Structure 1
Amino acid sequence: MEFFRVARIVNTFGIRGQMKILIDTDFIEDRFKIGNQLYILHDNQMVRKVIVESLQQHKGAYLIQFKDLYDINQVEQFKGMSLAISAEDQHELEEDAYYHHQIIGLDVLTLDGKRLGTIKEILVLGSNDVWVVQPINSKRKDILLPFIGDVVKKVDLEKGQVWVELMEGLIDEG
């Protein structure tokens, strides 16, 4: 079965089995609805199926409770692991919208064909995501590309490429 991460378990909370998570999905209400099934993964391998019992925001993160896990001793082992959905649970996206796993690993090219590097991470920040590009030249700093129309001009998933127009100041020329 193929899985896609929707959150990271960063800590336990209290003694009654709640866990503190950081969410990596735009579909919070759908993914974490009471009664939904998720999977706890370690190194992309399923450790356990869980059923959402509750979710609440707490100081910039979320607290989640799963059915039948009501003690800190039961959940302590899951710190640092991921929460995921199965491939069948993915939503169909509208045009020009992408799942993170589709974007990570794509080559980034400028409109004139210069290869900048590979997308290694996506930061979810406020109004738009920021794509972190590992530059070809390992001595250079990561390139941060805002996912906005002025910068990202074309995404070609079949070719594994993203075409961008760089705004002034996006690349450290030093």
Structure 2
Amino acid sequence: MPATLSFCFLLFALIFTPAPVKGHYQVTSSGQPVVAAPGDDVILQCLVEPQLDMVDMTVEWSRPDAKRRPKGMEYVHLYRDNREVEDMKSSSYHNRTALFAGGLRHGNISLIVTNVTTADEGEYKCFIPKLQGNTKSSIVRLVVAQNSSKTITSETQLDPEAKGQNVLNGETKPSS
């Protein structure tokens, strides 16, 4: 009888354990602010879960708390048609942002912002317009503090293929 009871419990657990529904994804972030000092490079973590190849998708990073230009949306970073779209990017972010080169294949849409300034402080929104799911965006807050001595980011491994290396704009550099 105990074996039958164990089997019934196992069957019950398998039936009622929530599993991700195929085709339903969500954009997530840690929910914790990223704290940096002026001049630091930061990673604004944003992931698609479960993992999804994002290479052929549009990835938009914007500042929801910033004033919009009159002609339309101004992006912090825009990835569309397998490339970065520079002409729709805010001039203050030119040559300062990147996505992880190999990370897109694994749902990593985290944004690297180099040489942060106090003007960069605020909310950043990562958004996937055509993602199948209920949560297509997430907000990451960046705090730039003069007296901050160390950038605080998440401990999540952002590029599983990099194993001990930093990847930026397609270049692989050894971690220090």
TM-score normalised over the length of structure 2: 0.28
Structure with the bigger percentage of strand: 1
Structure with the bigger percentage of helix: 2
Computing the radius of gyration from Cα coordinates, the structure with the larger value is 2
Q: Which structure exhibits the higher relative contact order, with contacts defined as CA atoms closer than 8 Å and separated by 6 or more residues?
A: 2
TM-score normalised over the length of structure 1: 0.29
